[in-house]
Structure formats: C-alpha cells, structure tokens
Structure 1
C-alpha cells in the first residue's frame, strides 16, 4: 500500500515573531524594574543604587529590619498590615451584602450603583483631599460637643489610620468588589436556592450551604484585591492618614532622601509581603478544594 506523505509543518507567519518580540519587550518593561530592585537590594555594605553590584549579602535587610535604618520599618509594616486586613474583611462583607441587595429590584438602584463606582474615575489624590477635608469639617462641627462630654480632647483631629485612612482605602477597594459580586450574582442560577427552600431550608441555610460555596472562589479574589490594593496604596493615603504613615508612604518619602540600597530592601520587602499573601491564600484555597474532593470520594 502506498503511504501518504506526512504533512509539512505549517510555518508561522512573520507577524507571529514580530508580535512575540513585542510581547517579550512588554514583559521586560513590566517586570524589569522589579527584578532590578530585587537584585540591587542584596548588595554588600558598600553597594550603590546602580549596577554593577558591590558584593552579595543581606546587609541592607538586616539594617532595615534591625532598626538601624532611617525609618521604623516594623511600626510602618504593622500599620499597613492591620489596615490591609481590615480593608480586606470589610470589602468582602460589604460586597457580598451589596450583591445580595442588588439581586432584588429597588427604587434608586441604578443611581446607587453609579455613586458606588464613581470613585474609580475620580483622581485618587482628589479623593484623598476630599476625605481629609470632610474629616476636618466634621472636627470643627462635632469636636466642641464631644469634648464637652469628655469623649475627645480639645486638641488634635480625627484623621487617622482607622478613620479617614480606612474610608479612603475602602473608596478604592469597594468598587472592585462590588463589580465582581454584581457579575457573579447576575450569572448565579437561582434554581439552586429555590430547590434548597423546597427542601425546607431557611434563607440563611440556603445562603450558607448553597450560595456561599458557589461564590467562595470569587470571595477569595475580592479578598486579595482588597488587601493588595490597600497595602500598596499611596495616592489615597497621602492626605488622609493624619500623623501616621503606612509602609508605602514611608517608601515614597525615602525616595527623596535615601541614597543607599536600603530603599531597595524596603521595596523588596513590600513586594514580598504582597506575593506571600496572594500565593498563601491560593495555596490554602487549593488545599481546601483537595480536602473536599477526598471527602466526596470517601
């Protein structure tokens, strides 16, 4: 029998290689600065801000975390971590509640939706200034009455990490959480909940045992959005934090004063925390999925 000739492999067009080269340049442009900072942060004591590297060591990390640097990294890190976790929890809870509320038609839903996402199109620095001004106005109005009751002192203001700072960060994270939940609930089949109710489940049981497991992956995404956006936020924090600084604000301040790889060590530390939270959360989620599959098989 005559054998058929093997088909020749189709050659890729020249446009493929041109687009591949463009994509490679884009990746280098996107991640090149991160890799550069990561490498320069591991220099020796005589290291500088540019290549070539002068030795390889953990000297600048030891100086930064040991309190020998120009910033109290421990306090700034704890403030950013506490604020990021608080924003994460509130973003998830409020987004879920808002998503459930918008499943039912009510008067003014469209206007409320546009108000909720409007902060995405407003410049971040303007939002920060507006929140700071709002809290100063509230101080002028309410502080005399509160001080007369002995609740606050006559000096100072209410600008702080978990007051104006928390509001500024939520104005950035909530729109993303709301948009995700609206998309999720619009695609969620209500027949599952109806079947649970037909079997005697209450509204809470229906949500707890039917809806929540179905939307759990999206809640993890919202949580990661909330934490990372808050932990790395600078513009909305710049005017709304009061006398305290978060870690990104300390990093921004150091860019004009520090001339040693200590600033690279700080940048590497901030990036490492973000990646640790992201990959740690994903690993925990995958682990839970595997346990559920094992229980289902068992």
Structure 2
C-alpha cells in the first residue's frame, strides 16, 4: 500500500509579512500613547512626566480624587457623567422616534434628513461657536422681558451644561443614532408587525413586543455612541458650557499648566470610564443575544 504524499506547506508571500508589519505599527501607533499615559500615571510621589519612572504607586490617583490635585475632579467628573447619561438617553429616544417617523415618506423628509446629519460635515468648533452665538442672541431678545416679570436675573446668560452644552452634544451624537436607526428600519421585515396586528395587537403592543426586541441590540450601540461621544467631546463643548467645565475640558486646560503626573492620572481615569462603558455595553449585547437564542429554541 503506497504511502500518501505529505502536502507541502505553502510559503506565505512577502506581501503578507509587509502587511503584518504595517498592521503591527498601526496598533502601536494607535494604542501606544494610551499605554504610555496609563503607565506613567502610576509613578511614585517624586515621578515626572517622562520615562524612566520614579517608583510605582497610586499616589497621583489618591491626590487627584482626594481634592489635593490641580482640578476638582469630583465635580467635573459628575458633570460629565450626568451630561453623558442624559445625552445617551435622549439620543436613543429621539433616534428611535425619528426612525419610526421616516418609515413612511412625508413632505420635506429628504430635506429634513440632510439637515439632521449636516452637523457631521461642519467643523465642530464652528458648531460650538454658532450655538453659543444663538444663545447669546436669545438672551438679548428675551432676558429683558423675562427679568421684568421676575423669571430670570438680569445678569448672567443662558449658556450652561443642560442648555447650550446639551444642544451642542446632541448635534454630535444624534446624526450617528439617526443613521443607525434608518439603516435598521430599512431592513426590518414589516411582516412581523402585520402578523401581530392580525392577532389583535395594538400599535403600542406591536412595537413593545415585536419591534423593540428586534432592534434592542442596535439601541445598545446607539447608547454607546451617545455616551462615549459626549463623554470625550471637547471642541463642541469649548464655547457652549458657560462658566462650567466638563472633565475633557479640564483635561485640555491642564495640558498647558500642569507639570506633574496629575494629568496622567486624570487621563487614565477618563479612559477607564470609557472602557467600562464599552465593555458593559458589549456584555449587555451578548446577554441579549443569548436570551434571544434561548427563546428561539424549541421546548
């Protein structure tokens, strides 16, 4: 009985190694700064802003969170966290409602669509300046009238975290949510809803028990976009937050004044929150997928 010939291993082309090296350099370029900042944030009390490290400790984190650092991280952190959660919730709700509305064509739908996503192509700093100017004009027009009847003070302005700041962040997060929901509803099979209505379900019951479970994984993605984009936003926040600063604005301000690893500890804290939200969202997505698979299995 003749022995079977041993298949020869195919040699990889040189292009494979060249592309692999390019990809490795890309990963280093992408994540190298994050790893560097994370590492330097764990320096000892006498550490500086560059390598080599001078000891290893949690000193700069303790200094930052105890209020002895150069920034009130607790207040700035709570502002960014609350604003991010509000932006996330509004982005999900408005995106779903807009997706449902655009399932049927109506007068002006095309123009409204382009207006809704136009802020993606406008420079963020221009959007920030425009929103700030808009609120100043509103103040000039309405503040004297409102102050005359005692509703607002004559001093100050309407620029703030949940007025102009919220609007600026929504101008950044909503286009992403809208595009995702438009794509989802365009591919959604309407026969499931029609079957539910044939069985006596109302419009709300059809949405609650048929549509919502099918689009739930995409809503998690929209929520992730909404929170992370708001949490890390600087350009659209720069002119619209009034007298308050979010955590990214505090971090940007520190880059020109702080000469200690305080800034690295703050950067690591901001990055840790972002990764926590991302991995929590991915875990929720996996759990939802497994629940759907279990429900689809026959008893």
Q: Is TM more than 0.5 here?
A: yes
The DSSP-based 3-state class of the residue aligned with 2:236 is helix
Q: Deviations over 1:89-134 (max 9, x none)?
A: 0000000000000000101111000000000000000000000000
Measured after TM superposition, the shift of residue 280 of structure 1 is 1.6
Number of corresponding residues: 298
Unmatched segments (≥5 aa) in structure 2: none
Equivalent runs, 1:127-206 vs 2, <5 Å: 127-206=127-206
Equivalent runs, 1:216-235 vs 2, <5 Å: 216-235=216-235
| TM-score, normalised via structure 2 length | 0.97
2:249 alignment counterpart? 249
Structure-2 separation of matches of 1:286 and 1:111:
37
The DSSP-based 3-state class of the residue aligned with 1:3 is coil
| TM-score, normalised via structure 1 length | 0.97
Measured after TM superposition, the shift of residue 194 of structure 1 is 0.7
Instruction: Give the CA RMSD over aligned residues.
Output: 1.2
Is the alpha carbon distance of 1:210 and 1:277 closer, same or farther for their aligned partners in structure 2, counting shifts above 3 Å? same
Measured after TM superposition, the shift of residue 81 of structure 1 is 0.2
Structure-2 separation of matches of 1:193 and 1:295:
19
After the TM superposition, which parts of structure 1 deviate over 3 Å for at least 4 consecutive aligned residues? 287-298
1:55 aligns with 2:52: no
Structure-1 separation of matches of 2:291 and 2:191:
27
Kept in 1, the 8 Å contact 2:217–2:288? The answer is no
Structure-2 separation of matches of 1:220 and 1:89:
11
Unmatched segments (≥5 aa) in structure 1: none
Q: Deviations over 1:224-250 (max 9, x none)?
A: 000000000000000000000000000
The DSSP-based 3-state class of the residue aligned with 2:239 is coil
Structure-1 separation of matches of 2:229 and 2:62:
27
Structure-2 separation of matches of 1:295 and 1:25:
44
2:3 alignment counterpart? 3
Structure-2 separation of matches of 1:17 and 1:190:
48
